[in-house]
Amino acid sequence: MKKTEIPFLTATDLSHKIRDKEISPTEVVIAYIERIENINPTLNSYITICSKQALDKAKELEASLMRGDYKGPFHGIPVAVKDQWWTKGIRTTGGSRTLSSYVPEKDATVMEYMNKAGGILLGKTNMTEFAMGATFDFPFGIPRNPWDIQYGVGGSSAGSGSAVAAHLTATALGEDTTGSIRTPSCWNGIVGLRPTWGLVSRYGMMGHCWSFDAIGPMSKTVEDCALTLQAIAGYDPKDPYTSRRPVPNYMESIKRDISGLRIGVIQETMSNGELDPEVKCLVSKAIKDIESLGVVVDQISLPLITHAGAISAPISFTECSAIHKDNISNNLGLMDHTIELNMLTGRLIPAQTYYKAQRLRELWRKQALEALETYDILLQPTCATFAPKIGPRPSPGTRTSEKNALYGNKSLRTPWSLLGNPALSLPCGFGVQGLPTSIQVIGRHFEEETIFALGHAFEKLNNWNKYSPTDLNERGRIG
């Protein structure tokens, strides 16, 4: 196989070839590093590229494989990780110039687990400042969409999304607070999972909102997503909020028979006033395709879902301002203006508002969990629109922008952050401009296996993952 072809393999294909010694981990890393050096200056997917560390790790894993010490399916798999959690000896910026020189002395648990499984860190990926999702002034370059570099990639796990889509990594890790895995996965045409809250340790992570934050995989395929989750999931004594449940075999789960599954399509999300007609058409077609797989599909109503953005905002703003109290005290003027406004807004929210939001959260939780007693899976769009064009800073405070922030696009992803349910963003087609979109697959707590099985069956039916950008051309696209 030519070196230039290696980055276009799925992580699962790479896993098989490394196990069978058809390709060495060193060959894989060299192929990726060369591609990153060529394309990353255009896309700004990475903040820090770990070329030497990755090659050293690849040689170590290659030697262990030759000795018969095979660590499992993740052995030798290159990974890009969001620059939001500690990496020992490697700078960790949180996407902020205030931490541009910060080098942790230890690894976050997710890195420990990844290393133990045999993963190779290629680098730390670009992100919105402190994972807040509203950054305009990116200190390490504006992340650009590989399908068309005039367009954005979504936040806050921006670089992880573009790196996977542009084949600058085999798989990636992101973090999702109110959609920060699912949005960039949708707008970059990849598979992204917000796992059940408590499935993956957050020890060593720079948080945004304690009761929402979740680390998860962003990958080329559902199978790659399952492979990646397998490497990082599990109880961690350093994070008391992780579950002690045994971690299932996610790779086996994708082979499950899904016939007879009961699926509910949430009507309110399909009639969302911000939903682009093209996105609605593609998601509707995806729902019909899913129904053809032998599942039972019903239209259901969850009225409170339209208020999820408004419920989540005072919670996330308040918790964020508490987490970043030192930044508010010491670093105002050094951060993106919008991020500073968000932090300061959190300080102004009355305790009664935070309390009321938590009460409303419980009402929404009751309504949604009752639906999930009847239905195995819920379906809805991931995003209301395609990726937006990169342009001047939008004007904050207008009636339209505030409405959209609380009720429109925001109420498609925040419902599941409020509940902590697993939610999978699954590519389901392209608009006339060639930009991708996704359907969102929601499951019960700790039932990632079920949504993986459905996602894999849908993926085989449509092969949307076969479409990918390749090289820069005159249209400003990678593809």
Res 409 pLDDT > 90: no
Give the model's confidence band at 474: pLDDT under 50 very low, under 70 low, under 90 confident, else very high.
very low
Looking at residue 83, its pLDDT comes to: 98
Domain that holds residue 153: 3-466
Res 15 pLDDT > 70: yes
Average pLDDT over residues 428-441: 95
Would 384 be classed as within a structural domain?
Answer: yes
Would 476 be classed as within a structural domain?
Answer: no
Cβ atoms of 184 and 161 within 8 Å: the answer is yes
What's the number of domains the chain is made of?
1
Would 141 be classed as within a structural domain?
Answer: yes
**11-19 vs 25-43: helix axis angle to the nearest 10?**
160
Res 393 pLDDT > 80: no
Averaged pLDDT of the chain:
94
Would 283 be classed as within a structural domain?
Answer: yes
Res 228 pLDDT > 80: yes
211 is catalytic: no
Looking at residue 467, its pLDDT comes to: 86
255-273 tens-digit pLDDT = 999 999 999 999 999 998 8
For 356-387, b where at least 16 C-beta lie within 10 A, e where not — what string? Answer: ebeebbeebbeebeebbeebbbbbbbbbbbbb
Average pLDDT over residues 231-242: 98
Would 475 be classed as within a structural domain?
Answer: no
Q: Measured between alpha carbons, how far is 100 from 208 in angstroms, rounded to an integer? A: 18
200-209 tens-digit pLDDT = 999 999 999 9
Give the model's confidence band at 134: pLDDT under 50 very low, under 70 low, under 90 confident, else very high.
confident
Annotated active-site residue in 17, 82, 220, 410: 82
pLDDT over 70 percentage in the chain: 94
Looking at residue 394, its pLDDT comes to: 61
Rg (CA), the chain: 21
CATH code for the domain in which residue 46 is found: 3.90.1300.10
Q: Measured between alpha carbons, how far is 432 from 241 in angstroms, rounded to an integer? A: 44
140-185 tens-digit pLDDT = 999 999 999 999 999 999 999 999 999 999 999 999 999 999 999 9
**Tokens 């990844």 sit on residue:** 114
Annotated active-site residue in 96, 156, 253, 417: 156
Annotated active-site residue in 96, 157, 180, 312: 180
Give the model's confidence band at 416: pLDDT under 50 very low, under 70 low, under 90 confident, else very high.
very high
* Joined tokens for residue 392: 């001047």
282-331 tens-digit pLDDT = 999 999 999 999 999 999 999 999 999 999 999 999 999 999 999 999 99
Looking at residue 476, its pLDDT comes to: 47
CA distances from 307 to 181, 211, 403, 406, 470 (A): 21, 18, 11, 7, 40
Res 436 pLDDT > 60: yes
Looking at residue 320, its pLDDT comes to: 96
CA distances from 258 to 63, 263, 290, 369 (A): 41, 11, 10, 21
Looking at residue 374, its pLDDT comes to: 98
Give the model's confidence band at 463: pLDDT under 50 very low, under 70 low, under 90 confident, else very high.
confident
Q: Measured between alpha carbons, how far is 166 from 418 in angstroms, rounded to an integer? A: 31
**Tokens 């909020």 sit on residue:** 241
Looking at residue 405, its pLDDT comes to: 53
Flag the least confident range among 25-34, 61-70, 130-139, 278-287. Answer: 130-139
Tell which residue, 436, 406, 453, 198, has the closest CA to residue 308.
406
Give the model's confidence band at 415: pLDDT under 50 very low, under 70 low, under 90 confident, else very high.
very high
Give the model's confidence band at 78: pLDDT under 50 very low, under 70 low, under 90 confident, else very high.
very high
Res 245 pLDDT > 80: yes
82 is catalytic: yes
Give the model's confidence band at 334: pLDDT under 50 very low, under 70 low, under 90 confident, else very high.
very high
Average pLDDT over residues 240-244: 97
Would 477 be classed as within a structural domain?
Answer: no
**Tokens 């053809």 sit on residue:** 292
Would 458 be classed as within a structural domain?
Answer: yes
180 is catalytic: yes
Cβ atoms of 156 and 132 within 8 Å: the answer is yes
Average pLDDT over residues 129-150: 94
335-362 tens-digit pLDDT = 999 999 999 999 999 999 999 999 999 9
* Joined tokens for residue 190: 């990849």
* Joined tokens for residue 419: 């509940």
Res 478 pLDDT > 90: no
Render 95-127 in DSSP notation, one character per residue.
T-GGGTT---SS--HHHHHHHHHT-EEEEEEP-
Would 478 be classed as within a structural domain?
Answer: no
Cβ atoms of 8 and 32 within 8 Å: the answer is no
